[in-house]
Amino acid sequence: MNNETNIKLSIIVPVYNVEQYLEQCLDSIINAYRDNIEVILVDDGSTDKSNNICDKYANENHYISVKHRENGGLSAARNTGIKLAKGRYIWFVDSDDYIENDSIEVILNKIKEGKDIIMCNYRRVLPDGNSFFYQGFKSDDDLTIEPYKYVENLGNVSYAAVRFITKRELIIENNIFFKEGIYHEDEEWTPRALCAARSFTTIIPFVYNYRVGNPKSITGMMNPKKVIDKIIISKGIYDRIKHNNYSEGMSNFLRTRIAHNYIAALNECAMYKGNERKYLITELKKNRYLLEGINIKKALMVRISLKFVGVSNTAKLLNMRTTFRKDN
């Protein structure tokens, strides 16, 4: 059995009603197993057979443990896992995804470098089984700059927490827990982790398989709260900039995240109708101050549009642009 002081990697797997995918996820971890790791399953009040599957795997594998808890959402489940973790580094693996056979070995080798964050590439897996490599990090990238700057320079890159294997000490000392009760928790968590980190390294070959396009998933469901939560995340970042003595570079990075989330909320608003749409337009109008002082091109264009044609028409224009891009 692993000595607690020798655990190098804690893999945290939040579980909620994923009986269809859970065994594939856990089998992939078992196939990739190496010494000096632990796997923490956090069953978030599942009502299907997921809880029984967790118990079975925990009973059969000494390095797997399970914590059953009342349903509190993905963020709460991840936070529970962080508090239970004993490894030097933490890796979040979603229970409907799966990892590559050499992934843990590759990560353990990278841990030897002692960086605050290890960033990894992944493959996106579609519902029909087809997949494609999501290229984010490259072998000739400059790894000497600050982590937040590196990610910012990449442009439109995924902020999914599963891509960022993070020192547990960094998370605990900087109180980088997930904000509970919101959607898009990774958009809130990852920028904080990147700003707290002072060093990083990357893994270029993909080690993670990320399912996309599932209409039953949280990301596939329409819910006006998802739009509101993007605004809440933007407001939280705005307040942190206001009350912290960030460098100019870090402040500008965080402003780009404000713009990203607010504009995404504006875009999604156009998909709603009736009272839901009216409510969202009111909230977006009330919080359009969030874009003030952000000088990236898209934010400037949206500010001009908001001024001359209003929130509702700007939302329509953004949504039409997004639809056009998808169709072409």
Does residue 217 belong to any structural domain of this protein?
no
Residues 47 and 172 in one domain: yes
Look up residue 77 and give its DSSP letter. Answer: H
Residues 171 and 229 in one domain: no
Given this model, what pLDDT does residue 3 score? 61
Domain boundary among 151, 185, 211: 211
Is residue 242 classed as helix, strand or coil in its secondary structure? Answer: helix
Does residue 94 belong to any structural domain of this protein?
yes
Among the listed ranges 131-140, 171-180, 199-208, 271-280, which one has the minimum average pLDDT value?
A: 131-140
Averaged over 24-51, what is the pLDDT?
98
Given this model, what pLDDT does residue 246 score? 94
Does residue 232 belong to any structural domain of this protein?
yes
pLDDT tens column, 219-270: 557 899 999 999 999 999 999 999 999 999 999 999 999 999 999 999 999 9
Given this model, what pLDDT does residue 1 score? 45
Residues 275 and 167 in one domain: no
Residues 235 and 203 in one domain: no
Question: Which CATH number does the domain housing residue 104 bear?
Answer: 3.90.550.10
Residues 235 and 265 in one domain: yes
| Measured distance between the N- and C-terminal CA atoms of the chain, rounded to whole angstroms | 54
Residues 280 and 191 in one domain: no
Given this model, what pLDDT does residue 327 score? 46
CA distances from 321 to 178, 261, 316 (A): 32, 17, 9
Does residue 78 belong to any structural domain of this protein?
yes
Taking Cα atoms as reference points, which of 73, 90, 69 lies closest to residue 12? Answer: 90
Does residue 92 belong to any structural domain of this protein?
yes
Residues 38 and 157 in one domain: yes
Given this model, what pLDDT does residue 217 score? 54
What average pLDDT does the structure give for the chain?
93
Whether the predicted pLDDT of 218 surpasses 90 = no
Taking Cα atoms as reference points, which of 157, 193, 156, 276 lies closest to residue 228? Answer: 276
Cα separation, 184 vs 4, whole angstroms:
33
pLDDT band at 214 (very low <50, low <70, confident <90, very high): low
Does residue 237 belong to any structural domain of this protein?
yes
Domain that holds residue 263: 222-327
Total of domains in the chain? 2
- In percent, the amount of the chain with pLDDT more than 90 equals 86
Whether the predicted pLDDT of 2 surpasses 90 = no
Given this model, what pLDDT does residue 324 score? 46
Residues 196 and 226 in one domain: no
pLDDT band at 328 (very low <50, low <70, confident <90, very high): very low
pLDDT band at 319 (very low <50, low <70, confident <90, very high): confident
Taking Cα atoms as reference points, which of 75, 127, 52 lies closest to residue 96? Answer: 127
Given this model, what pLDDT does residue 59 score? 98
Does residue 63 belong to any structural domain of this protein?
yes
Residue 88 φ then ψ, to 5°: -65, -35
Residues 14 and 160 in one domain: yes
Residues 228 and 140 in one domain: no
Whether the predicted pLDDT of 325 surpasses 60 = no
Averaged over 99-106, what is the pLDDT?
98
Q: At what angle do helices 147-154 and 248-269 cross, to 10 degrees?
A: 40
Domain boundary among 211, 246, 274: 211
Averaged over 279-307, what is the pLDDT?
95
pLDDT band at 136 (very low <50, low <70, confident <90, very high): confident
**Single pTM value for the model:** 0.93
Averaged over 177-191, what is the pLDDT?
97
Q: Which amino acid is at 306?
A: L
Does residue 216 belong to any structural domain of this protein?
no
- 172-177's contacts with Cβ under 8 Å and 24+ in sequence apart are 172/82, 177/79, 177/82
Residues 167 and 243 in one domain: no
Whether the predicted pLDDT of 119 surpasses 70 = yes
Residues 56 and 143 in one domain: yes
Per the model's pLDDT, the better-predicted residue between 131 and 197 turns out to be 197
* Partners of 208 in the β-ladder: 99, 122
Given this model, what pLDDT does residue 135 score? 66
